[in-house]
Amino acid sequence: MITETGTDISKAVSFLQGGELVAIPTETVYGLAANAFNEDAVLKIYEAKQRPQFNPLIVHVASLNKAAMYIKHIPAEAIKLAAAYCPGPLTMLFSKTEQIPDLVTAGSSRVAIRIPKHTVTLELLEQLDFPLAAPSANPSGYVSPTTATHVYEGLHGKIPYILDGGTCTVGVESTIAGWNEEDELEIYRLGGISVEQLEDVTGKKIKISKKMTENPSTPGQLKSHYATHTPLFMGHAGEVLRRFEDQKIILINFTERNPDVPDEQQFILSPTGTMEEAAKNLFRILREADRLKADVILAEPLPNKGLGRAINDRLERAQFIMK
Ligand code: TXA
Ligand code: MG
């Protein structure tokens, strides 16, 4: 299959209507989209990504109103959160109706709903009479794509069309939140909307769930997520550099250059020292670091607040798992 990249929304519409896959731009990362109502189309997502079918997919819609047709109940808190952060990098879990196939939710009674903040994809969704199931558009386990070129590198030959909407502005995936049996809001994945931002709206402390959606339940069985081919370790340079003394290392720092490491072996996530800039650059820099084929990539943790928590979470998951 030839993979074309372009900006033609009507072309994307026809592929999706025909049950084919299209990579779509969002503000977080590119998604690999299919008609969420069409099981054959959804199956193609799992195949193209080599994604295990027990890992459910987020359903993208143009507005919460449109999703109201496939979800049973919208808690009052969800309406407040949506007013503040949707469209945006927030995904919420709701109990689903039968219209959403079990294949999309991997058998769960809850569906993940997100309204992406990207003009191209919002326009695309407006032209469709079905929602789009879409995981990140990368082969399962590798770093998520933040440009159309990243998508092409990972999936060319497997999908017919990449809708190019430029570089993703947020750069880490959406925050996933839902209500537990006690009707309390919990976070299942850290992401583009910070814990503090959610708490500003709810006025309450929010729990980070022990059942994080991307936790390998049995260590050693699943590949790590977001992983580079080069083994990645997290730690403070001062402590870990010595451990890798004889190896070719690449260092990823938040904002400052390390005088002990040659410049060509260093990446700075944010020259201006903001979490937003660091998030936006994170996945591109992981890919570039990987391409240098060093022995190890060392990543310094960021301050653990705001978007820094989501970035640290991604770096932790990218870490090399010792067998
Ligand atoms: O920013 C994003 O969320 C991007 C863009 C494309 O929207 N999408 C994304 O999808 O990151 P993916 O598949 O790479 O990650 C989605 C996560 C997975 O960890 C999955 O387990 C979880 O969401 N998830 C999806 N549906 C779920 C459900 N019904 N219940 C619990 N977790 C769910
Ligand atoms: Mg993903």
The pLDDT tens digits of the residues spanning 247-273 come to: 999 999 999 999 999 999 999 999 999
Could you tell me whether strands 185-189 and 175-179 are parallel, antiparallel, or unpaired per DSSP bridges?
antiparallel
Q: Looking at the CA of 144, which ligand is closest? A: 2
Ligand 2 (ion): residues with CB under 5 Å are 136
Q: How far is CA 296 from CA 93, 215, 234, 273, 299, in A?
A: 37, 23, 10, 24, 10
What average pLDDT score do residues 89-115 get?
A: 97
**Nearest ligand to residue 226 Cα:** 2
Amino acid identity of 62? A
For 232-318, CATH number out of 3.40.50.1240, 3.30.70.20, 3.40.50.11030, 3.40.50.800 equals 3.40.50.11030
Q: Which atom of ligand 1 is nearest to the CA of 173?
A: 1
Grouping H, G, I as helix, E, B as strand and the rest as coil, residue 312 is helix
Which of 176-180, 209-213, 263-267, 302-306 is predicted least confidently?
209-213
Q: Look up residue 317 and give its DSSP letter.
A: H
Ligand nearest to the CA of 45: 1
Query: Among residues 312, 305, 116, 314, which one has the least CA distance to residue 195?
Result: 305
What's the pLDDT score for residue 220? 44
pLDDT at 27 over 80: yes
Residue 303's contacts (CB-CB under 8 Å, 6 or more residues apart) are: 254, 275
**Res. 283: pLDDT tops 70:** yes
For ligand 1, atom 13: residue with the closest CA: 135
pLDDT digits (tens, 9 = 90+) for 165-176: 999 999 999 999
Q: Which residue has the tokens 């999703």?
A: 67
pLDDT at 128: 98
Atom index in ligand 1 nearest the CA of residue 55 equals: 21
Is it the case that residue 64 has pLDDT exceeding 50? Answer: yes
Evaluate if residue 226 carries a pLDDT over 90. no
Q: What is the mean pLDDT of residues 70-76?
A: 94
> H helices within 188-260, ranges in order?
195-202, 237-240
User: Can you read off the two tokens belonging to residue 13?
Assistant: 């519409």
Specify the CATH architecture of the domain 4-208: Alpha-Beta Complex (3.90)
Of 161, 71, 163, 22, the residue nearest 91 (C-alpha): 71
pLDDT for residue 213 is more than 80: no
Provide the terminal-to-terminal Cα distance of the chain, rounded to the nearest Å. 37
Q: Hey, which residues does 70 pair with through a beta bridge?
A: none
Residue 323 has pLDDT above 50, yes or no: no
Which residue spans within 115-235 are E strands per DSSP? 132-133, 161-163, 175-179, 185-189, 207-208, 232-234
- Ligand 1 atom 31 nearest Cα: 213
Q: Which residues contact 62 (CB under 8 A, 6 or more apart)?
A: 115, 122, 125, 126
Question: Distance, CA 309 to ligand 2 centroid (Å)?
Answer: 17
Contact indicator for 173, 189 with CB cutoff of 8 Å: yes
Nearest CA to 133 out of 197, 219, 38, 210 is that of 38
- Average pLDDT for 102-122: 97
What is the percentage of the chain residues whose pLDDT exceeds 70? 96
Give residue 100 CA to ligand 2 midpoint distance, Å. 20
- Sequence-distant (6+) residues with CB within 8 A of 218 are none
What are the structural domain ranges in the chain? 4-208, 232-318
Ligand 1 atom 6, closest CA: 31
Mean pLDDT of 61-73: 94
Q: Is the peptide bond before 139 cis (omega within 30 degrees of 0)?
A: no
Neighbours of 272 (CB within 10 A): 9
For residue 218, name the pLDDT band (cuts at 50, 70, 90): very low
Supply 151's token pair: 């998508």
Does residue 217 register a pLDDT over 60?
no
Mean pLDDT of 105-110: 96
Taking alpha carbons only, the member of 138, 15, 129 closest to residue 61 is: 129
Same fold, 4-208 and 232-318: no
Q: Looking at the predicted structure, is the pLDDT value of residue 83 above 90?
A: yes
Band of the pLDDT at 322, cuts 50, 70, 90? Answer: low
* Tokens 């998030």 found at: 279
Q: Residue 288 corresponds to which amino acid?
A: E
CA 9 to chain CA centroid, Å, is 22
Q: What's the 258 CA to ligand 2 centre distance in angstroms?
A: 31
Mean pLDDT of 80-108: 97
